[in-house]
Amino acid sequence: MLKRIDIKLLLCVFLVFLIGLISIYSSTYKEDKPMLKFFYRQVFWMLLGLFSAFLLIKIGTWKILEYSYYLYVISVVLLILVLLVGVSRGGGHRWLKIGSFTFQPSEFVKLSLVLVIARFLGNYKDKNIRFGFLNSIVLLLLLACPVFFIILQPDLGTALVFIPVLLAMWYASEVGIWYLMVFSVLGILSSPFLWSILRDYQKQRLLVFIRPDLDPLGVGYTVAQSKIAIGSGNIIGKGWLSGTQNILNFLPERHTDFIFSVIGEEWGFIGALIILLLYIFIIIRGLRIAANADNKEYKLLSVGIVVLLTVHVIINIGMTMGIVPAVGLPLPFVSYGGSNLIISILCIGFLLDIQRQAK
pLDDT digits (tens, 9 = 90+) for 151-201: 888 777 788 899 999 999 999 988 888 888 888 888 777 776 666 666 666
The strand pair at 92-98 and 101-103 is best described as: antiparallel
- Helix, strand, coil percentages in the chain from 3-state DSSP, rounded to 5: 70, 5, 25
**Res. 202: pLDDT tops 60:** yes
- Provide mean pLDDT across the span 200-213: 62
Backbone dihedral angles phi then psi of residue 100, each to the nearest 5 degrees: -95, 0
Q: From its phi and psi, is residue 88 left (phi > 0), alpha (psi between -120 and 50) or beta?
A: beta
Residue 312's nearest CA partner among 171, 108, 172, 165 is: 165
When pLDDT is cut at 50, 70 and 90, the band that residue 209 belongs to is low
Mean of the per-residue pLDDT values of the chain: 85
**Predicted local distance difference test score (pLDDT) of residue 32:** 63
With 0-12 CB in 10 A as exposed, 13-18 as middle and 19+ as buried, what is 249? exposed
**Predicted local distance difference test score (pLDDT) of residue 141:** 92
Give residue 82's identity as a one-letter amino acid code.
Answer: V
At residue 267, the 3 state secondary structure works out as helix
Q: What is the rounded CA–CA span in Å between residue 193 and residue 225?
A: 33
Q: What is the rounded CA–CA span in Å between residue 106 and residue 209?
A: 25
Quick: pLDDT tens for 114-138.
999 999 998 886 555 677 788 889 9
Q: What is the rounded CA–CA span in Å between residue 27 and residue 251?
A: 9
**Res. 278: pLDDT tops 60:** yes
Q: What percent of the chain has pLDDT over 90?
A: 46
Q: What is the pTM of this model?
A: 0.91
At residue 102, the 3 state secondary structure works out as strand
Quick: pLDDT tens for 294-335.
889 999 999 999 999 999 999 999 988 888 877 778 999 999
Give residue 256's identity as a one-letter amino acid code.
Answer: T
**Res. 1: pLDDT tops 60:** no
